[in-house]
Amino acid sequence: MLTGLRSLVVPVFDTAPTDRFAEVTLKNVTVATGLTLTPSNTVVACSTPAVAALYAALGFKVAPVEDGVSPEPERPWDVLLRLAAGDETWRELAHEATVDVFDRYRLTETVRSVVNDPVVGDEGGLTATRDYRTYAEAFADAAQRKWRTVRPHVRPGRIVDIGCGAGAVLEEADREPALRESDLIGVEIARHLYEECVHKKAQGVFRNANVYFYRRNVLGGAVLPPRSVDTTLTFALTHEIWSYGSQEASLRAFVQAIYDHTAPGGVWINSDVCGPDGRDRRVHLTLRTDDGLPHPVRHDLAELASSEVTAHVAALSTRARLDQFAADYKFPFTYRPVSGDTVELTLGDAMDFLTRKDYTDNWLSETQEQFCGFEFADWKSLLTDVGFELDPASETTRNDWIVENRLAPVASLRTPASEPLDWPVTHVLFVARRPLNT
């Protein structure tokens, strides 16, 4: 409008990286406008050489925009980074029409959130190596059990499930007659899962008209107004906040954000993995060596196809898998060999390996996460420090199915003095309430 040039914006379908990106874009334009763009009626203005080459291969004339431009004036990306850093001089470098659009549609905060986001990866999720279909199916299978566990503590009103996955727990809440007048709100960071939630709502899966979904990273700022939420639910989320953020600093920021949006008398219910009590004490871990191959460690797994990674890890013995885990694990992980099948390490490190060793389908994703960074005593200290009161229903538990089927058949724990150790707790459920007078 300011330049006298007419423009039309056409949404481009969000597709995986492909050499046919130019063809997909052209088809999107045709579907949206009815116009067929050809080399005879179209000039492509593009600043990305790889994308420009795709259009050139189809015969289009390409105006390279910034190609050959010297460092002064700055390129659009440099201006965008100024904006993201809060440097208001970006307004002097951008065209006035651009500034007008950014102001009218409040795009500056969106850009800053995307560029500075400490958690979200290029794929719009926590990690590009995660198979979200596997996770969605696992969460759906466990939704009824999770809901039965937390239902006695849910306070009606505004109920928010942060990290809601594909919305399976909210489906359970939706079936509750006593919650028919409540707002059910799902917050999900992963694009794949968020889109599945929206799809379910569009297909009429939810009977409650007050069901809403937001694609947000709660670490990027407040999602809901202060003191406005009656119940917050989080399942298998806090260990990811710890792992993909700045460990305790990010977890504290998250807990503070939950406290801030919780109404007086409201509740936060969290269910997640948990570090064992006394996670820093030294133990001896004995592992089977005859249940797989003793292959040497591979340091190139990130360069392999996911099926190749799975095949390699799945073929290893439990003892050899420990060595591979140590090579791929994001967090400091040290152990001292005691004998061919036994190592000395901390109890927390032992449980981090043992509770992750069977995730061969998502190995490179799982090795980016730490399950045992926080134990129950740490949780109690953090929650009370922020201002929550811990309900007596809060407790740690041990998943005996994991012990009987995943741990005991291939591993055992002893003290350095060779005294047998029982398997420690693996999970935590806490019910944290904001006092009425705050």
* Torsional sign, CA 64, 68, 73, 76: positive
* DSSP codes, 47-90: S-HHHHHHHHHTT-EEE-TTTT--SSSPPHHHHHHHHHTT-TTH
Lowest mean pLDDT among 65-79, 162-176, 217-231, 335-349: 65-79
163 phi-psi bin (left φ>0, alpha ψ -120 to 50, beta other) = left
Identify the pLDDT of residue 173.
97
- Residue 79: pLDDT band (50, 70, 90) is confident
- Residue 416: pLDDT band (50, 70, 90) is very high
With a cut of 50, say whether residue 164 has pLDDT above it.
yes
pLDDT digits (tens, 9 = 90+) for 337-390: 999 999 999 999 999 999 999 999 999 999 999 999 999 999 999 999 999 999
Average pLDDT, the chain: 89
For residues 375-405, one letter each, b for 16 or more C-beta atoms within 10 angstroms of the residue's C-beta and e for the rest, the string is bbeebeebbeebebeeeeebebeebeebbee
pTM, whole model, 2 decimals? Answer: 0.76
Lowest mean pLDDT among 121-130, 241-250, 358-367: 121-130
Selection from 18-32, 42-56, 120-134, 309-323 with the highest mean pLDDT = 309-323
**Span 144-157, mean pLDDT?**
95
- Residue 54: pLDDT band (50, 70, 90) is very high
Identify the pLDDT of residue 245.
86
**Span 84-113, mean pLDDT?**
86
Q: Which of 327, 324, 432, 333 is nearest to 387 (CA)?
A: 432
- Residue 421: pLDDT band (50, 70, 90) is very high
β-pairing, 282-287 with 411-414? antiparallel
Q: Which of 407, 15, 430 is nearest to 255 (CA)?
A: 430
With a cut of 80, say whether residue 7 has pLDDT above it.
no
pLDDT digits (tens, 9 = 90+) for 321-332: 999 999 999 999
β-pairing, 427-433 with 395-397? antiparallel
**Span 311-337, mean pLDDT?**
96
